[in-house]
Each structure stands twice: as structure tokens, then as C-alpha cells.
Amino acid sequence: MSELTISQITHKVIGCAYEVSNTLGAGFVEKVYENALAHLVRKSGLHVAQQYLLCSSAIIFSV
């Protein structure tokens, strides 16, 4: 499989985000949307890490 461009990846992720929003609507806790988005992005063929820890200058960020 050839590598995807940033534009192609962005298109897939935004499409998945719209699908989650349109399907679930409002009212759920953030984790529900996070899991749904991760599921759809994986289903689209991309790799996803959730709540990945980053360390920069001895400060730890959770993204």
C-alpha cells in the first residue's frame, strides 16, 4: 500500500468525525465520542493511539 498524503489522512479523519457527530448527536460524555472516533478511524485503515502520553522538557501531557 502506498503512503497517504496529509490531505488524504485529514479527509478520512474529518469524515469519521462528521459520521460520529451525525450518528451520536449531543449528550454523551467525551469518552464515548473518543472511542467512536477511534473505532471509525481504525476501520478506515489508519492507526490510532488514544490518550497517548507525550513528554517534553520534563512536562507530561496527555493528548
pLDDT digits (tens, 9 = 90+) for 1-49: 479 999 999 999 999 999 999 999 999 999 999 999 999 999 999 999 9
H/E element, 53: strand 53-56
In our burial notation (b when 16+ CB lie closer than 10 A, e otherwise), range 5-20 reads: eeeeeeebbeebeeeb
Dihedral, CA atoms, 11, 15, 16, 18, nearest 10 degrees? Answer: 140
More confident residue, 8 or 58: 8
| Domain ranges for the chain | 6-62
Distance CA(32)–CA(59), nearest Å, equals 27
Note the pTM of the prediction, 2 decimals: 0.80
Distance CA(59)–CA(54), nearest Å, equals 8
